[in-house]
Structures are given as structure tokens and as C-alpha cells.
Amino acid sequence: MAKDKKHSKPSPSSAEEHYEVAELHADRMKRKAYEAAIEPLHVELVKLQEWIKQQGLRVVLIFEGRDAAGKGGAIKTITERLNPRHCRIVALGVPTEREKTQWYFQRYVQHLPSAGEMVIFDRSWYNRAGVERVMGFCSDEEHSEFLRTCPEFERMLIRSGIILIKYWFSVSDKEQERRFQARLDDPTKRWKLSPMDLESRSRWVVYSKAKDEMLAHTDTKKSPWWVVRAYDKKRARLNCITKLLAQIPYKDLTPKPMKLEPRREDDSYVRPPMTEQSFVPEVF
């Protein structure tokens, strides 16, 4: 178990993922209401990024959760208006043979932020407590060692000055099944269903047990997990962003409005003939 004293917020259990739809929301949020709510949040995210940049903060966001829980959509919504020079998404693939011989956290450390940066991990070192554990890609000893050392690793990051925030996106088995089917029906989303996703579908309870064990060890006072109820993707994004904005105190550094001066024209410039350029065909 982690040495940190548990915070007052009770650790969520797998039972939370089995709430009936009626217990969460009577209906899904309408597009019009969502767009009205997300616009001001985008403005605040831009303000937050400028504050992170100006203050030289280092921020790490970890997004974990069930397959098809909406992590990718939430990350896309957060980064939509942000400057990619100061906000990076890290989504690592299967480790190489060389990486498999390294210290487990090593390949993640190299992606940690420098001053003024925010890094978003679309899945992270918690792969070891999830897919690797369930699918047998790590040994029992490696899994136990991860649960023991992960809180220590995160305390090191926090002591170094990194702001570490962890989100777990939670959906029920019925909702995950609905989303899997929707991906199969949509040729633009069918690529999202990997053989690993389909295998996880038949191991719902095993994943639940692995998640509960992970939370028992890594949901600590200094580095808590924040569970996002993701039955309604729109509400999940809004709630996640609202929580994020509340977790990092910031000030509005938006530059004051400026008046553009008239451009100085150069009458001596002669534009080359348009026939010398290659244009994209105007099909539309």
C-alpha cells in the first residue's frame, strides 16, 4: 500500500461503473447547450496555458479509463485551441525490445514537460496496472513492483515541482458495448477498435478487479485519482475541463486589444505571373 495517508475522498470502486443511466442523467446533453458551455471554457484554457507558459510551470495530465470511455475526445477538446508548442500529447505504442529492458518508467520520463509546458498522457505508465496486468504482458512480480514503486515515483515528480493530475474515465459495460457497436457501424471510427479492445470486452470483470487494485495503491493524498463519469461524453468533457481549471490557480494574462497600424505598401514590388504557380484544384 502507498505510504501516503488516504485523502478524505473515498476511493471509487468498480461498482461506480454499473450505475444505471437514470442514476446519472435522464438524457444526454444537447449539442446546442454543449457548444454554449464549451466556448467560455476554451477561453479559460487559453488563459491557463498562457499562465503556465509565463510562470514556467510543468504540468502533467494523465488520462486513463475503460476502452471507449471518451478519453481521446476529452483530450482533443482540451487541446483544440491551445498552442501545440506548449501543450503536447503523448500516446506511446507498444514498447520496443530495447525499451522492455529499461527501467519501467524510463520511456515515460523522457516525455515529461520542461518549464512552461503541459504534457497530456493518453494512457501512461498505468498500462502496467491495466492492460499489461489483464492480458498477461507482465509478470506478477513486475505488477507488484509497479504498485509499490508508482506512488514513490509520483511523489518524486511532485517534489520536483511537476503538477500531476490524474483522471479516470468511467463507463458502464452496457455503455461501452453501445460505443463499440457504434464504431463498428462507422467506417471512420472502425480503426479505433483494435484486437486488444475486442479482447478487453470479454474481460470486463478482470479489468474491474485490476482497476480496484490499482486505485487501492495509487489513489493517494498527494496524487489522487479524479473519476469522470463518462456516460454522457459532452458532460464528461465539460466536467473534466471545469475541474482542471479549478486545480491550477491562474491569472488572466490576455494582452489588451491592439489597433493595427496601416501597412506600408511597396509600389516597386511586382508579383510573378500566377501561371508559374501550382494550385490545388478547386473541386468545391
pLDDT > 50? residue 139: yes
**Domains, in order of start, for the chain:** 26-249 (3.40.50.300)
The pLDDT score that the predictor gives to residue 231 is 94
The pLDDT score that the predictor gives to residue 26 is 53
pLDDT > 60? residue 8: no
pLDDT > 80? residue 186: yes
The pLDDT score that the predictor gives to residue 265 is 83
Higher per-residue pLDDT: 20 or 73: 73
pLDDT mean across residues, the chain: 90
Which residues in 159-180 are b (16+ Cβ under 10 Å) and which e?
Answer: eeebbbbbbbbbbbeebbeebb
Q: How far apart are CA 244 and CA 242, in angstroms?
A: 5
Please report, rounded to a whole number, the percentage of residues in the chain having pLDDT higher than 70.
91
The pLDDT score that the predictor gives to residue 195 is 80
Q: How far apart are CA 151 and CA 135, in angstroms?
A: 23
pTM to 2 decimals? Answer: 0.87
Over residues 136-160, the mean pLDDT reads 98
- End-to-end, the C-alpha distance of the chain in Å comes to 61
Lowest mean pLDDT among 29-33, 217-221, 260-264: 260-264
Higher per-residue pLDDT: 1 or 59: 59
Contact call for residues 87 and 244 (beta carbons, < 8 A): no
Concatenating the DSSP letter of every residue in 23-46 gives HH-SSPPPHHHHHHHHHHHHHHHH
Return the C-alpha cell found at 87. 501543450
pLDDT > 70? residue 102: yes
The pLDDT score that the predictor gives to residue 24 is 52
Over residues 133-162, the mean pLDDT reads 97
* 3-7, 246-250, 266-270, range with greatest mean pLDDT: 246-250
Contact call for residues 225 and 218 (beta carbons, < 8 A): yes
Please report, rounded to a whole number, the percentage of residues in the chain having pLDDT higher than 90.
74
Handedness of CA 258, 261, 262, 266 (dihedral sign): negative
Residue 49: phi and psi, rounded to 5, are: -65, -40
| Closest by CA position to 168, among listed 20, 62, 79 | 62
* 86-90, 194-198, 269-273, range with greatest mean pLDDT: 86-90
SS3 249: coil
Higher per-residue pLDDT: 194 or 63: 63
Higher per-residue pLDDT: 264 or 209: 209
